[in-house]
Amino acid sequence: METTEGARASQPEARDDRVAQAFTPLDDAVEFAHEFRAALHDQLRLVSIEAQLAARSLTTIVAAAIGIGGLLVSAWLGLMAAGTYVMIGRGLEPVVAMLIGVALDLIALLVPYRVIRRKRRNLEFPATLRTLQPAS
């Protein structure tokens, strides 16, 4: 009976050897390659999405900058016209008219300035940088 029990005890060990032989280092390398490819694909997809967002943000920033340029030009023309009208028509000091025009122009410039500040964060690829940082 002891030989039968000894034979039974060696059978699970034989199964463990077969299972261990089923997973060779080559299988581990293939599995690692698949996992690496999947992780790389996810990372490249994230970069692609953020590049699209960055392009849209850059377009918005350029449009806002053009708006700022237009406001600066109109402010200059307005200052010149206000100074001329003030001196000719109302008798107001030209300096006062210029200061009012500059103040209104600066208030109008705050709108595109805030748009640029809000959109510039998208140009830094924040999610991609977070995924590339090592885990703490």
**Cβ neighbours of residue 131 closer than 8 Å, sequence gap 6 or more:** 43, 46
Question: pLDDT value at position 14?
Answer: 52
pLDDT in tens, 4-53: 555 555 555 555 555 555 668 888 888 888 999 998 999 999 999 999 99
- Work out the average pLDDT over 129-133: 83
pTM above 0.75, yes or no: no
Distance CA 59, CA 25 (A): 50
Burial category of 102 from C-beta neighbours within 10 Å (exposed 0-12, middle 13-18, buried 19 and up): middle
Would you kindly state where each structural domain of the chain is located, as residue ranges?
A: 2-130
Q: What is the CATH number of domain 2-130?
A: 1.10.287
| Mean pLDDT for the stretch of residues 89-101 | 73
Q: What is the pLDDT of residue 87?
A: 59
Amino acid at 105: D
Mean local confidence (pLDDT), 72-85: 77
- Tokens of residue 6, six digits: 């000894």
Which percentage of the chain shows pLDDT scores above 70? Answer: 77
C-alpha 83, offset from chain centre: 45
pLDDT at 125 > cutoff 90: no
Mean pLDDT on 106-114: 88
Rounded CA gap, 69 and 108, in Å? 12
